[in-house]
Each structure stands twice: as structure tokens, then as C-alpha cells.
């Protein structure tokens, strides 16, 4: 067993890993930036080391500083959490060079699955369905025109180096193709420094369903069922559930078997997630990508399987066999997770940094809060604004919904705006309650809650003002830059919200 582990992360996931270590009697080493000196994960750890200034590029992404702390503090292993360095193969190799165990997959698996094109090729070779499309980047507009015509519209253009919807364009017919291709290539170049774009047949009104897989160093690969992740805002998951409301055992077995094939194909080790698009027309499913890390939304899988995924990660990193076989995995009940962000849903979800002046967490039957905050804590602008995840468990989806409504009513956060009011509305929404979900849910939900249209003059003013606000926020030179950050966000947000209604 490891005696001491370093957690190379912050916020709620750092607290989550520390909790698993405490249960396993493993000492913990936290790392923190200047902005996180009083953060909850620092308070919870046994030892804590400052690794630099607030910007992630000067702290949480500085793997040489993290490895130095690991050596100084004498840890045997490093847990990366998610984000930051969790899928950085170079970091994994440097950790190994230092004689320290990385709690996660081998670097070769990360590299093979890290790029969209290489991941697609692995899935195809493993006999896993992928969306019909090209396996090489498009060479020209003429080639794009020929391929799209043969495939049939609508098609989806995607950046090879892409992720999170960046560099992606839906093309309904040939008249849109040329400008969509140019825009996708330009965005891909700007976002990833790589303008390679490929084309896929568009899956209409897809669900985003992902399979949790777990592999050990003895060649065992097991799936732990699915998570429904279709409720996303700008390609960011906001509500996840397990199992999917589809709750079809045959579909689960087919998708689970496909996910295990991908894991086996790359000799995967540890916790991984295989993402699929599922067509609501005929429930056909298509491989999207595989994430080589523990996911934010892992709690809903833990709640319906009873397995602690972080403990399992640590045991697998120790070289132990999985503590379960595929036959041991039985899903029971229903779990829902809401990601609580320090954002203002009435102000275009703009970040709402500040001090948490009041915090009342929900408690009682079937409620779990994975948080990285406390009353008096500072929510800074330097990091992802997610402050906690509220998860509930019920015997079935109806009970889980009732429980989530009750927990959201109990949840109080003062001093900053949060997305809690947004979730209170979603949990009352008929389309959500129906379980007939797809990735278009939030745009439709926002249409249902959209305020009345602006008049012409207000609209023109909003366009002018939001351009000014955007200029300020990007150049930090004009009048608003003298305002505190929060109010500058508020200014920009109000204007962008007016704009977005255009």
C-alpha cells in the first residue's frame, strides 16, 4: 500500500482524492498556487506546498515543480485528478523517470487516444462503430464537396485536433459547405495550431452517452454501465445521470462491450470513459472519443454501482487486480448530478467570483456533495468556476428527481451567484422529467425561459456596448477596466445577454 500520495490538482477533485486516501490510511500531499493558499484541499491535506503564482501556467501545469515537491515530500505516487496534467503523456513519463507511480493509464494509451483521428482509427480497428466519415483530414474544398455529396447532407465538419465543439460546424447543404470549411479551419488553427478538418455524417438530435470502463495491469477490462450526459451548455456537461433514462439492458451491454474493446485495444490501465453519440431514431451508437482520466461526473456511477472509483484507481496503480468482475457489476437505483458553478444564469452564465459569505449544504437521505468550498472561501477568476457537484440517489429516476428538487431547495450559497436557480428550473421542466433528452435540450430549454425580445433601439445599443465591453475585457484598457473584475464581468454579461437574444 502507498504510504503517501501527492494530489496534482485543486478544488473538489483534490478533496475527493484526499477523502479516499484518508479511508485507506494514506497520507496526502497537496500543492497550491498563491490564489489557493487557504483553499479547502490545502486544509484537508497532511502536507501542502506552494508551487507558484495563481495562473495555472505558473502553478498547476508546471510539472517540474510538482515532481520536485513529490521528491522532496517522499511520496510514492501522484494522482492527477482531471484536467491540468491528467492526460499529459510527457508528465507521465517524467513522473516515471523520477521513480514515482502515476495513478492513471500508460502514456502510450493517452497518446493513442488523445487525437480524434488516431482514436477513430483505433475504434475502427477494434470493430467499434464510428460515425461514417473520413479517417484523414480533408485536403481541399473540392474534396470536401465530393465526400459530403457521397455521404449525404447534413454533415459535420470537425477539427482533427479538436475538442469540446471547437472547430466543429454542422453543414445542412452544399451551399453552406465552403464558408463552414473555412470557418472550421480558421477556428481550429486559432484554437489548436492545427487547421486539419475532417467530415462525418451528422447524427441528428444525438444523445451523449458515455461508458465508464476500468482496466488493471493483469489484462482485465470491465465496464460499469453508462452515464447520460446530453444536458450540456456550450459543450460543457451540466447535469449527468446514471443510468441513462433509456435504461435499456441490451443497449448497455452492446455499448459496454464496445467500450471494453477500445480499452483492450490500447492495453488500457485505470479509470477511463468511452464517449458515444446515440441516435434517438434507432438507438444506433457511434464512438466519439475516449477520455483517459477520472471524469468530473464519476459520482453518479459510484452511487449506482457502490464502487469507489478513486480507491480502485489507487489499488490498480499498486498492481492489484480489479476488485470486481463484469458479473459483479449490477446497477441499482438512479443517480443525478448537478454541477454547481460560480456563474450567474441571469447574466449569460458569466463567472461570479467573490467570497462565499454563506454556505448551507443539503443533507439527509440520498444526498452527496463533492465540494471544494467553505463559508468564507474565495472563489477566484483563475480557475474553472465549478465549485461543487450535488449528487442524489433514488430507487428510480422519479425518486431521484424528487430528491434533487429537495436538495436544491436546501442548498444555499451567499456572496456569489451560482447556477443553483437554473437547476431548480430544469428539475421542474417537463422535457427533462420525460427523460427524452438529447444534446439540444439546453438551447430548447433556454427558448422556453427566454425573456421577451428587445426593441430595435435597445438591440442596436446592446451590439455597440457589447463590442465595447468585449474590447475592454480583451484589451483591459478602457473605462470599464478600472472596475473590479466582478462588475466588469457583470457589465459584459448584461450586454452579451442582450446580444445573445438577437
Q: Which residues bind ligand MV4 (CB under 6 A)?
A: 131, 156, 165, 168, 200-203, 206, 208, 232, 235, 277, 288, 439
Give every strand in the sheet of 169-171, ordered side by side. Answer: 169-171, 155-159, 197-201
Quote the least distance from Cβ 199 to ligand MV4, whole Å: 9
Q: How many CA atoms lie within 13 A of 193 on its CB side?
A: 0
Query: What's the closest the beta carbon of residue 278 comes to ligand MV4, in angstroms?
Result: 10
Q: Is 206 helix (H, G, I), strand (E, B) or coil?
A: strand
Residue 207 CB, shortest distance to ligand MV4, in Å, is 8
**Residue pair 76/28 in contact by the 8 Å Cβ criterion:** no
Q: Which is nearer to ligand MV4, 105 or 206 (CB)?
A: 206
Is the Cβ–Cβ distance between 155 and 171 less than 8 Å? yes
CB of 444 to ligand MV4, least distance (A): 12
The closest of 26, 17, 2, 158 to 84, measured between CA atoms, is: 17
488 catalytic residue (yes or no): no
User: How far is the C-alpha of 296 from the C-alpha of 472, rounded, in Å?
Assistant: 33
Question: What is the rounded end-to-end Cα distance, in angstroms, of the chain?
Answer: 58
By C-beta, is 129 or 415 nearer to ligand MV4? Answer: 129
Per-residue H/E/C for 423-463: HHHHCCCHHHHHCCCCCCHHHHHHHHHCCCCCCHHHHHHHH
**Is the Cβ of residue 201 or residue 405 nearer to ligand MV4 in the bound state?**
201
CB of 148 to ligand MV4, least distance (A): 12
Phi, psi angles (nearest 5°) of residue 171 = -115, 115
User: Cα(84)–Cα(9) distance, rounded to whole angstroms?
Assistant: 7
Q: Which is nearer to ligand MV4, 15 or 168 (CB)?
A: 168
When the beta carbons of 18 and 202 are compared against ligand MV4, the nearer one is 202
Catalytic position from the list 10, 62, 252, 293? 293
Which of 34, 37, 4 lies closest to 21 in space, CA to CA?
4
Active centre residues (catalytic): 293
Amino acid at each position: 500500500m502507498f504510504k503517501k500520495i501527492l494530489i496534482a490538482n485543486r478544488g473538489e477533485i483534490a478533496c475527493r482524492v484526499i477523502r479516499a486516501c484518508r479511508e485507506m490510511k494514506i497520507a496526502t500531499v497537496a500543492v497550491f498556487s498563491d490564489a489557493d493558499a487557504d483553499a479547502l484541499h490545502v486544509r484537508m491535506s497532511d502536507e501542502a506546498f506552494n508551487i507558484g503564482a495563481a495562473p495555472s501556467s505558473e502553478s498547476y501545469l508546471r510539472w517540474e515543480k510538482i515532481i520536485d515537491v513529490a521528491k522532496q515530500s517522499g511520496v510514492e505516487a501522484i494522482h492527477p485528478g482531471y484536467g491540468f496534467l491528467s492526460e499529459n503523456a510527457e508528465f507521465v513519463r517524467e513522473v516515471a523517470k523520477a521513480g514515482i507511480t502515476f495513478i492513471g493509464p500508460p502514456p502510450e494509451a493517452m497518446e493513442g487516444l488523445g487525437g480524434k483521428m488516431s482514436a477513430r482509427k483505433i475504434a475502427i480497428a477494434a470493430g467499434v462503430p464510428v460515425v461514417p466519415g473520413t479517417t484523414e483530414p480533408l485536403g481541399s474544398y473540392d474534396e470536401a464537396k465530393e465526400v459530403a455529396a457521397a455521404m449525404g447532407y447534413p454533415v459535420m465538419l470537425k477539427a482533427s485536433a479538436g475538442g469540446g465543439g471547437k472547430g466543429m460546424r454542422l453543414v445542412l447543404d452544399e451551399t453552406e459547405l465552403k464558408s463552414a470549411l473555412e470557418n472550421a479551419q480558421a477556428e481550429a488553427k486559432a484554437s489548436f495550431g492545427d487547421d486539419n478538418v475532417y467530415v462525418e455524417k451528422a447524427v441528428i438530435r444525438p444523445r451523449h452517452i458515455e461508458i465508464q470502463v476500468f482496466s488493471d495491469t493483469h489484462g482485465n477490462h470491465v465496464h460499469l454501465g453508462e452515464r447520460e450526459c446530453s444536458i450540456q451548455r456550450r459543450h460543457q456537461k451540466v447535469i449527468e445521470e446514471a443510468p441513462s433514462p433509456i435504461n435499456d439492458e441490451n443497449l448497455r451491454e452492446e455499448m459496454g462491450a464496445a467500450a471494453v474493446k477500445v480499452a483492450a485495444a490500447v492495453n488500457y490501465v485505470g479509470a477511463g470513459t468511452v464517449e458515444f453519440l446515440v441516435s434517438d431514431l434507432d438507438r444506433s451508437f457511434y464512438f466519439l472519443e475516449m477520455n483517459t482520466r477520472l471524469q468530473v461526473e464519476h459520482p453518479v456511477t459510484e452511487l449506482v454501482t457502490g464502487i469507489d472509483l478513486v480507491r480502485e484507481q489507487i489499488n490498480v496503480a499498486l498492481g492489484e487486480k480489479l476488485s470486481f468482475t463484469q458479473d459483479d457489476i449490477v446497477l441499482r437505483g438512479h443517480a443525478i448530478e448537478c454541477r454547481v458553478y460560480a456563474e450567474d444564469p441571469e447574466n449569460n452564465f458569466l463567472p461570479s467570483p467573490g467570497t462565499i459569505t454563506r454556505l448551507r449544504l443539503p443533507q439527509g437521505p440520498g444526498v452527496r456533495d463533492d465540494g471544494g468550498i467553505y463559508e468564507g472561501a474565495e472563489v477566484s477568476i483563475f480557475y474553472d468556476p465549478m465549485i461543487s457537484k450535488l449528487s442524489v440517489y433514488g430507487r428510480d429516476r422519479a425518486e431521484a428527481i424528487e430528491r434533487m428538487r429537495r436538495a436544491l431547495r436546501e442548498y444555499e450559497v451567499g456572496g456569489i451567484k451560482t447556477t443553483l436557480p437554473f437547476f431548480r428550473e430544469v428539475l421542474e421542466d417537463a422535457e427533462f422529467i420525460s427523460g427524452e433528452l438529447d444534446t439540444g435540450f439546453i438551447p430548447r430549454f433556454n427558448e422556453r425561459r427566454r425573456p421577451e425580445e428587445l426593441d430595435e433601439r435597445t438591440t442596436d445599443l446592446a451590439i455597440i456596448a457589447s463590442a465595447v465591453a468585449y474590447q475592454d475585457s480583451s484589451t483591459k484598457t478602457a473605462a470599464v477596466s478600472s472596475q473590479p473584475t466582478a462588475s466588469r464581468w457583470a457589465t459584459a454579461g448584461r450586454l452579451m445577454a442582450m446580444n445573445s437574444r438577437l
